[in-house]
Amino acid sequence: NAGVMQNPRHLVRRRGQEARLRCSPMKGHSHVYWYRQLPEEGLKFMVYLQKENIIDESGMPKERFSAEFPKEGPSILRIQQVVRGDSAAYFCASSPGLAGLNEQYFGPGTRLTVT
Amino acid sequence: AQSVTQLGSHVSVSEGALVLLRCNYSSSVPPYLFWYVQYPNQGLQLLLKYTSAATLVKGINGFEAEFKKSETSFHLTKPSAHMSDAAEYFCAVSPYTGANSKLTFGKGITLSVRP
C-alpha cells in the first residue's frame, strides 16, 4: 500500500526557469493539499484540490504559481519564472475527503533550490 | 480564522526525562488538532489527533496529548524521552466541519535529547 509519492525529491532551477512538482496521492484518496515550508518556518497551506477542481487556493501567491489535479495522473504544482525566494520544501498531502475523516497523509516533499 | 502558537523554538531534555511540548490554538469553530513529527529531510508523520472524542489522546511512540478547551491548549507529552525522539514537532489545527480540512501549523519546536 504505497503512501503519498512526490517527485522529484530534489530540484534545482536557475532564476527564471520553470519548476514542476508532482504528487501522487495514496490509493483511494481524491483530495490533495499542497504546503510550503520555508527555512525556519512551519508549513503554510497553499492550495486544496479535488479531482479536476481547485477548491481553495487562498494560500497561493497571486502570480507565477498554479496547481492542477487532472482526472488521470498526479497533481502538479507549477512555478513559473522561479526566484530565489521560491527556494523551499514543498509538501503534498492527501486525504480521502470523507466527512469527519480528514486526516492527511504527507509525502516526503520536494526540496526546490533556486540558484 | 485559526492559528497555532508553539512557544519556543527549541527544547532540550535528557534521555529518560519528561518531554513537554506546548501548543495553544485559536479557532472560531470546534477544532481538529494534530501533532506531527518531522525527521531531517523527511515528510511529516502523524503522531496523534484530537477529533472531539476523548480529551486525552494517545499516539504512536509513547506520546500523548490532552485537549483542554478552557485553556485552548493541546500540549504534547512523553514520560521518558528516547534518543530517537530528536526531531521537529508541529502542532496543527483544522476546521471541524467541511471537506476542506486544510491545516494551519505552528512554527514547530525542535526537540533535542541529551545522552
- Check residue A2 and give its pLDDT: 73
Q: Is the pLDDT of residue A103 over 90?
A: no
Average pLDDT over every residue of A15-43:
92
- Check residue B34 and give its pLDDT: 93
Please indicate whether, in this complex, the C-beta atoms of B103 and A33 are within 8 angstroms of each other.
yes
Pairing of strands A110-114, A10-13: parallel
Q: Can the peptide bond before residue A8 be classed as cis, meaning omega within 30 degrees of 0?
A: yes
What single DSSP character describes residue A55?
Answer: E
Closest by CA to B103, choosing from B93, B111, B114, is: B93
- Check residue B111 and give its pLDDT: 97
- Check residue B43 and give its pLDDT: 86
Interatomic CA distance for residues B71 and B97, integer angstroms: 22
Average pLDDT over every residue of B86-109:
85
Chain A residue numbers touching B41 (CB-CB < 8 A):
111
Please indicate whether, in this complex, the C-beta atoms of A106 and B43 are within 8 angstroms of each other.
yes
Provide the shortest C-alpha distance from residue A57 to chain B (in Å).
11
Q: Is the pLDDT of residue A1 over 70?
A: no
Please give the mean pLDDT across all residues of chain A. 92
pLDDT bracket for residue B97 (50, 70, 90): low
Specify which residues A7 forms β-bridges with.
A22
Evaluate whether B105 touches A42 at the Cβ level (below 8 Å): yes
Closest by CA to B91, choosing from B23, B11, B10, B43, is: B23
Please indicate whether, in this complex, the C-beta atoms of A103 and B105 are within 8 angstroms of each other.
no
User: If you average pLDDT over each of A37-41, A48-52, B17-21, which comes out highest?
Assistant: B17-21
pLDDT bracket for residue A39 (50, 70, 90): confident
pLDDT bracket for residue B99 (50, 70, 90): low
pLDDT bracket for residue B6 (50, 70, 90): very high
Q: Is the pLDDT of residue A64 over 80?
A: yes
Provide the shortest C-alpha distance from residue A84 to chain B (in Å).
20
CA B54 to chain centre: 16
Total beta-carbon pairs less than 8 A apart between chain A and chain B: 57
Percent of chain B with pLDDT over 90: 70
- Check residue B98 and give its pLDDT: 56
CA A35 to chain centre: 6
Interatomic CA distance for residues B98 and B93, integer angstroms: 14
Residues on chain A bordering chain B, Cβ-to-Cβ distance under 8 angstroms: 4, 31, 33, 35, 41-45, 48, 55-56, 59, 91, 93, 95, 97, 99-100, 102-109, 111
Average pLDDT over every residue of A5-20:
97
Average pLDDT over every residue of B86-100:
82
Percent of chain B with pLDDT over 70: 97
All residues at 6 or more sequence positions from A47 whose CB lies less than 8 Å from its CB, including other chains: A33, A34, A54, A56, A57, A59, A60, A67, A77
Chain A residue numbers touching B103 (CB-CB < 8 A):
33, 35, 43, 45, 93, 104
Please indicate whether, in this complex, the C-beta atoms of A102 and B101 are within 8 angstroms of each other.
yes
- Check residue B1 and give its pLDDT: 77
